[in-house]
Structure 1
């Protein structure tokens, strides 16, 4: 398996150095360049065209939430940060981030898997706090809110609604298959149809759209 080519962007040199060493030690990634701010991250990404950018949120000159809007048009972006503010998480996903991981909530193997999946477009890693932030965005006490009506406009079947609800809970295809007594292949087919109907390309974008937090859905 070829190494995932990455650019690492974090303004803390200690965190950045540790992350680079960790990534290379896992044997899944090769770090092409490092950036200490969002503006430099964009420059290096345009120069090197990596498979994935690992992007911090709070950086000088240009923060990660702003930078991801440009970076996501060039390549896949995985937010990797200590910031767990729900509004920041939702803004990053709306901006095009393929995933959002909070330091301290994942291990080495989970990071390696997240890098592979995000770069390949086969998964959208989200820390539990990120899933909660997206879910909380549409919780409205005392009334059902616009969620059900918004869902109807996408034309999903009853089964696709069940699958999408589980995706929104952060479930992997294997877990969805077990919960709904389906094969993983059948689940994958449902997921592909759901993405087409929601006009999205990945799980993070699908969740944002489903929960009404995507750009244009407010």
Structure 2
């Protein structure tokens, strides 16, 4: 049986490298890598892959816009940190076969999603399923939302719950995954940079890692938890 041929598009080089290593270890051939939507289009046109894995937020052309064009000639799975229901719905409406949110799947589930999408299935993370169900129902039957908890506990399936991160630590980790430096996180979160460093050190300890790259890989399921 021929190996699936895949293009991986993500502007975060750490995430992209982790995905490539994971896929190739599972016998999937990564024929191209892109850091933006336009490059993904160019690679897909030239290499004719079986499937493209697309991040949502990328420079030059975002993943949703790219998915609309790519889906005319190949299969597309959105593979992203973005779980916003409107983005999920837009991506599926533009032709993406599947939508996976980082941190909500194992390496084995990602491999199965690639094979499944090539076979015509629709791999969806729980957040994506919820978004699509909400679209079908029109949210008409949804009860009035309760006031948000100022420091909500993460859902059990969330990696924050798995590693015991506080809400603030989970927020910092989310910004780390998006490529922000400690200084940028401090400005965005209205914290002192020393406070951010303390959060980062506690995150590393809880995840059992020693670097940003390892933390991102473990958080997003790209590295096995061997503790």
TM-score range, shorter chain: 0.5 to 0.7
Structure 2 Cα separation of the partners of residues 59 and 139 of structure 1: 29
CA distance in 2 between partners of 1:94 and 1:86 (Å): 12
Cα deviations by residue, 1:167-191 (Å, 9 ceiling, x for unpaired): xxxxxxxxxxxxxxxxxxxxxxxxx
- Paired position in structure 2 for 1:129: 127
TM-score by length of 2: 0.60
Give 1:150's aligned residue: none
State the secondary structure of the residue aligned to 1:111: helix
Query: What is aligned with 1:102?
Result: 101
For residue 88 of structure 1, report the CA deviation from its aligned partner: 0.3
**Secondary structure of 2:31's aligned partner:** strand
Name 2:4's counterpart in structure 1.
4
Q: Structure 2 unaligned runs (5+)?
A: 143-227
Cα deviation, 1:110-143, whole Å, max 9, x if unaligned, reads: 111100010121x11000100000111222039x
2:39 aligned residue: 40
Runs of 4+ in 1 over 4 A off after TM superposition: none
Matched, 1:21 2:21: yes
1:75-94 matches, within 5 Å, as 75-94=74-93
Residue 169 (structure 2) aligns with: none
Q: What SS does structure 1 have at the residue aligned with 2:8? A: strand
What do residues 48-95 of structure 1 show as CA deviations (whole Å, max 9, x unaligned)?
Answer: 000000000000000001110000001000110000000000000000
2: distance between equivalents of 1:10 and 1:120? 23
TM-score, with length taken from structure 1: 0.63
What is the total number of aligned residue pairs between the two structures?
140
